Structure formats: structure tokens, C-alpha cells
Amino acid sequence: MKITGAQALIKSLCDHGTKMIFGIPGGVMLPIYDALYDCTDLEHMLMRHEQGAAHAADAYARASGKVGVCFATSGPGATNLVTGIANAYMDSIPIIAVTAQVRTTALGKDAFQEADITGITLPITKHNYLVKDARDIPQVVAEAFHIASTGRPGPVLIDVPADISFSQVEYQPVNKVELRSYKPTVAGHPLQIKKAAKAIVAAERPVLYAGGGVISSGASKELVDLSERTHILVATTLLGKGSIPETHPHALGMLGMHGTAYANYAVAHCDLLIAVGARFDDRVTGKLDAFARKAKVVHIDVDPAEIGKTVHVDIPIVGDCKHVLSELLKCVEPREETEWNRQVTQWKAEYPLHYPNDGGLYPQFVIEQIWEATNGEAIIATDVGQHQMWSAQFYKCTFPRQFISSGGLGTMGYGLPAAIGAQVARMDKTVFLIAGDGSLQMTIQEFAPAVAHKLPIKVAIMNNQYLGMVRQWQELFFNRRYSGVDLTAQPDFVKLADAYGAAGIRIEKPEEVRPAIEKALEINDRPTVLDFRIAREENVYPMIPAGQSIEEMMVQRPK
């Protein structure tokens, strides 16, 4: 029996395990949505902006470990996905973006709502396809899932012209993919792994530096086992949060620009830095010639292009983090705690994360209270800005895929649709979105699908009526010349929540914080907005100024 290309697309998505699609229809997307109408195996969430659809698919992938899927129509619908696709690309997140396109006969003729989306997204996708024969759809979808989810994960785009959607084909499922030109290296070289093991034995001041690759490869257990066997302390990137429980005595928290002082001191003074699934981002390294300058570097990464790209690497190991760490555990000798461990423990005591205790309402206190009220078990989504860094510092993650945040692209507006995607992926978990009043308003319309689907997301707004991180930089580096950052003209978020059909609570005093959080945790049939009116000019510390070294780190000690 023949079916349409659109039906073949939907059937192929189902064959590869898709359960939820985030999207918005449009003219040339109609045959695909018509095919979706009869499919009982797929759910669709109607988002209110295509950027929200891409971010929701991205967070669904981060929280579940599966491939996220989003839909958009041609032209502006497809271009509205671009920010979300770029976000997924920068953070190595597996999503499939399906866009509809004008008829093949109209391609390149500036037809209504035509945009060359494959050309536009070429630099921000792992691969993309323009389908020109409906018979290719099952193969294209199978390849897309394979490419998105293997090796270094990333987004893949499939562009489907309208006449291809209408075409009749005989459907043949494709379950196995062999691409001669695409063979990611999984197993690390045995000799390089043995070199790393010897380097660990010889090191006096080793540090593990864990990135998002540990999460995506499912290597958290192996990382913790290695740390415990060798007593090597672990610093993580923003996307590596949860790769080791942050309550573990070996956990140093996040390193880098707003990382803990003791994580940064440890990396600055180590003699062996073992980077696992991390890419030496500039927010981590700061001034390159001053970064870990006393250390020999071991770099484990599935993407050979990352090794040696930014820093000199002494022992490169190309391979999947889980596989490499498993092999390393077989040959590494146990180590006992050393004077180095005691030195770092002393730094932890001398330079703890802290905040004022003067009766004001501070965001760090709010996040600590969220952590305590949720027993550290909530999935945390964040937007981008000061609140993101406070969340990374003060919400101690204890398991992988718990911290959902935009890393490389730093996308304001990511948070709310990300919380939606994370909640859909993990309905068994409480999802807390920690957002800024500025970033939340960039995709605030996504409250509508959250309410429509009765998602019990808790939205904690750190409301300082500023674009806070920009204001902080203007305070510290531009003589407090606050230009373009004042947000005092903004909506009443409690009334806005009510307008959307969500619950809303305003909090202005420290003693109101815990009761409000506990009340939010009792509401399970709609989102809850917690509007925390925090101190307006509170800053994120520690802070290493952009492009500077550990010597320039701004640290505020407890008084």
C-alpha cells in the first residue's frame, strides 16, 4: 500500500522512538500535520514561537538522553528555529529539526515564505538534508537519528518540500544505518590510556575536569569510580554539573569565570589536568597562557577536532568518555589521599560560596531554599544571566541530566521552553525553572502551552528589574554607567501568571521564601510563578574578568 511522503515521515519518526514533537504548523507544513492527525503514537505540543519549539526539543533531549524533535514551516518558521538549533549545536545536544519547504519547482525563485534553511543552518548543524525524493524519507530519518545521537551529538535538520510531502511512496522502514564516511571513534587507543594511567600514578597534584561529554556519554559512574579509586578531586563545567554528585567530598563544583575559588585554585596549581568530555571553553580557561600552566594535560574526547584546538595536550585520547574511563579504570593504580587533597580542602574552608546576611532578600538564599525544599532532587532549568550562575553555584546537583542550561551560546529565553521540554521528558520529577526577569520575557508566551498541558513547572524569577549580568559588568568595568539595562517598566508577573491560568506568588522578604516554595510544590495541575523581589545590585562572585587569569579573580570573603 502506498502512503504519502508526509505519512512516511511521521511513520519513520515513530519507528525511531519519537514520542513528542514540539512545533507550530504553517502553509507548506499542512500535509505533515495532516499525517500527524491520524497518528496515535505521537503527541504534539503546540508552542507559541518556533524558537520555543527548538529549545523544548533541546531540553527534552538533555533531560531524557533521547533525541528531541521539533517542527516548523518554511521561511520565517524555519528561520525562527535558528537560535534554538545553534544553541543545541554549541552544547552538543541531539535534536532533529523538521522544516517544510516550498515545492521543488519553486526552489531558488523567491517563492512566498521561501528561505534556504539548509544553507542558513549549514554552520550550526551536524548535518542537514533537503529531501528531493519521497522514497528517500525513511533513509534520511534513520540517518538523521544516527548522526544526531552518535559520536559527538548534535542537531540535524531535514527540509521537506511540499510536493515531496504529497508524493505517493511504498514505505519500507530503515532500521540499520551504515555511513562509510561517518565512523566516530569509540574506543580510545590502549597505549594512550596506559600513558594516562602512568601519569596519574606520577602526579602529585592531579585534578579531573569534567564537561558535558561525561553526561552525554553516560560516563558519570565511571568518573566517580575513577575519582574514588585515585582520590582525584573533580571540577566540572556548567554542562558537566551532576557528572559527580556535588555533595561528594571530591566535588569542587564549577570552575571558570564564575566557578568556585577553590576549583579555580586547584586547576591553577595542579600538575596533571585530566579533561574528560570538555572543550576548554574560554569561560573556563580565561587567559590561555596562564591556564593550568604547571600541568601536564590529558584530554579525553570523542571529537578529535577538539583535542589541541585550544590548549596544548600532552596525552590525547580520542574516544567515548564512558569507554575510555572504563578502560582507564582497569589499568590505573589506586592512590591514597595526599597533602594536595588537604590543601584543596583548606581552600574550600577559606573561600566558601557565601552571600550577605543583612535581612535583605538575596538570590543565593532563595536557591539554597529551593535546594533544601526539593531535597536536591529537582531538575533545574535556567535561563541565562546572573541567576544562571547563582543556580550553578548554589543548587548542588546529585545526578546526571539534572541541570538544564544554555552553555556555549548563552541564549536568553532558553529557560521557559527548556523547562517545558524537561518536564515532558521527566514527568516523574519536579522541574524548577530559575529565571531572570529579563530573560524570561524573551519567550514568555510559552506559558500558554505549559498551562494547556497542565505542566506543574515551578518558575522562580530572580527579579532585580535589571538585565543583571550586563549591569554587573557595567558596574565593575564601565564606571556604573548603566546603559540599556533598566527593566523597571515590566509586567506584574503575578497578574501575568493569573492571565495565563497559572498560579502566582510574590515574595519580598526572606521569611516568605520557604512557605512560598512549599506552596508551589503542592500545586501539580499548572505552572506556578514565584516572583522573588531580590536585591537589585547583588553581584555574582567569584568572578574572573573576561580574558584574565586566576590572579585577577575577584573573591569576596565572608566578613
Hey, what CATH topology would domain 2-170 get? Rossmann fold (3.40.50)
What are the residues facing 128 on neighbouring strands?
157
pLDDT of residue 557: 63
Percent of the chain predicted with pLDDT > 70: 99
> pLDDT, tens digit, for every residue of 10-28?
999 999 999 999 999 999 9
pLDDT of residue 396: 98
Extents of the domains making up the chain: 2-170, 190-350, 363-533
Same fold, 2-170 and 363-533: yes
Domain 190-350 sits in CATH 3.40.50.1220: yes
Between CA 210 and CA 226 the distance in angstroms is 12
Secondary structure of residue 478 in the 3-state scheme: coil
Amino acid (one-letter) located at 270: C
DSSP 399-438: STT-EE---SS--TT-HHHHHHHHHHH-TTS-EEEEEEHH
Between CA 82 and CA 79 the distance in angstroms is 5
Consecutive H or E run containing 44: strand 43-46
Secondary structure of residue 266 in the 3-state scheme: helix
Stretches in the chain below the pLDDT threshold 50: none
Hey, what CATH topology would domain 363-533 get? Rossmann fold (3.40.50)
Q: Is the pTM of this model over 0.85?
A: yes
